[in-house]
Structure formats: structure tokens, C-alpha cells
């Protein structure tokens, strides 16, 4: 199910004429997404820290590899190069990147769409957590508009196509 959705998303991204900027890995969901998108002609750019590349974790078949010094530089580069973020199910690194994307949007530092692909209800507990953060006053109710939760790759692409920024002046309401 997860690999199928990752591959489907890669195909849809390519079919839409979009390029992919991602962490540069050759396995797992992002490897499947990259492989499917490449088969359909999308340009794939991987951004990977040198230690990961040195350990052989990079995808050898993608169009471009950008090697960074560390994970922080990697995220910064990916956000600079990206027009949208789609979070697929993943581990703690994915969760860390997702929460940074939410923070950057909250502070007005990233303007693109932010979509959480909730394949098989993977993110249900995380979404409940975010709603609790809002409910307890650590984020504003308006901040719930930062992200869009979708259940399928098709819905994720639709959310990106229909994206309108969540707030004209996020800095004005960022402070809690």
C-alpha cells in the first residue's frame, strides 16, 4: 500500500510536468517515488548529506545529486528549491522534516503548499497531536490551514493544484 502510493505519486508528479526535489535516497518510499517519476520522464534532484552519500545511501540513477555538509543544510537546500512539500509516511526523519515545514510556513519562511499524504491512516495520531497543540493554545486555530491532509496521491496532487496560501501575513499571527 505505501509503496504503491509512493509510486503512484511519482507518476502523477511526472504526468503534471513537475520535477522532484527530495532527500536523494535510493530505497524505501522515496526511492520508489523517484523510480516511478523517472520512468515517466520527470527530472529528479536528490539532496543528500555527504555522510549518507559516503555510506552508499544515495540513488545512483537520478538526474542530479547535490551533496550537503549535514542534515540541516540538506533541509535548507530542499526548501529553497521546492514549490511544494508532500509528506509521505516515513520515520522520524520524515516527521522532523514535516514539522520543520509546518514551522517554516507558520513563520512565513516557506510559501508553497504543504500536503500530508495520510496513506492507510498513517498520520492519524500526528494529526490528532497537532489538533491538541491547537486546542491547548500552542498554535492558533488559523494555523490548521498550514497543511492539507489527503488520503490518496490523486488527492495530494489536487491539493497542490488548488493551493492558495493559508495567510497573507503569517508573521502577524505567528507569535503565541
42-65 pLDDT, tens per residue? 999 999 999 999 999 999 999 999
Domains identified in the chain, total number: 1
Q: Distance between CA 86 and CA 114 in Å, rounded?
A: 6
Q: Distance between CA 86 and CA 132 in Å, rounded?
A: 22
For 158-167, give one letter per residue: b (16+ CB within 10 A) or e: ebbeebeebb
Local structure of residue 24 (DSSP, 8 states)? -
Which domain does 72 fall in, by range?
Answer: 2-163
Q: Is residue 171, in this structure, part of any structural domain at all?
A: no
**First vs last Cα of the chain: how many Å apart?**
39
Q: Is residue 47, in this structure, part of any structural domain at all?
A: yes
Q: Is residue 35, in this structure, part of any structural domain at all?
A: yes
Cα dihedral 43→47→51→54 (10° resolution) = 10
Give the tens place of pLDDT for each residue, 122-166.
999 999 999 999 999 999 999 999 999 999 999 999 999 999 988
Q: Does the pTM exceed 0.85?
A: yes
Q: Is residue 176, in this structure, part of any structural domain at all?
A: no
For 110-143, give one letter per residue: b (16+ CB within 10 A) or e: bebbbbbbbbeebbeebbeebeeeeeeeebeeeb
* Cell numbers linked to 129: 497531536
Q: Closest Cα partner for 13 from 49, 45, 51?
A: 45
Q: Distance between CA 88 and CA 115 in Å, rounded?
A: 9
Q: Is residue 54, in this structure, part of any structural domain at all?
A: yes
Query: Which domain CATH number covers 147?
Result: 3.40.50.450
Give the tens place of pLDDT for each residue, 76-101.
999 999 999 999 999 999 999 999 99
For 70-86, give one letter per residue: b (16+ CB within 10 A) or e: ebeebbebbbeebebbb
Q: Is residue 38, in this structure, part of any structural domain at all?
A: yes
Amino acid at each position: 500500500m505505501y509503496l504503491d502510493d509512493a509510486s503512484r505519486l511519482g507518476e502523477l508528479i511526472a504526468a503534471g510536468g513537475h520535477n522532484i526535489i527530495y532527500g536523494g535516497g535510493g530505497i524505501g518510499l522515496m526511492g520508489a517515488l523517484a523510480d516511478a517519476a523517472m520512468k515517466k520522464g520527470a527530472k529528479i534532484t536528490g539532496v543528500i548529506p555527504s555522510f549518507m552519500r559516503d555510506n552508499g545511501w544515495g540513488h545512483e540513477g537520478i538526474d542530479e545529486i547535490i551533496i550537503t555538509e549535514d542534515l540541516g543544510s540538506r533541509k535548507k537546500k530542499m526548501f529553497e528549491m521546492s514549490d511544494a512539500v508532500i509528506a509521505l509516511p516515513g520515520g522520524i526523519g520524515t516527521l522532523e522534516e514535516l514539522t520543520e515545514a509546518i514551522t517554516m510556513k507558520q513563520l512565513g519562511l516557506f510559501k508553497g503548499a504543504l500536503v500530508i499524504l495520510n496513506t492507510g491512516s498513517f498520520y492519524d495520531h500526528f494529526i490528532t497531536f497537532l489538533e491538541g497543540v491547537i486546542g491547548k493554545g500552542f498554535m492558533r486555530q488559523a494555523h490548521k490551514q498550514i497543511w492539507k491532509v489527503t488520503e490518496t496521491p490523486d488527492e495530494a496532487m489536487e491539493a497542490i493544484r488548488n493551493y492558495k496560501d493559508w495567510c497573507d501575513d503569517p508573521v502577524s499571527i505567528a507569535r503565541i
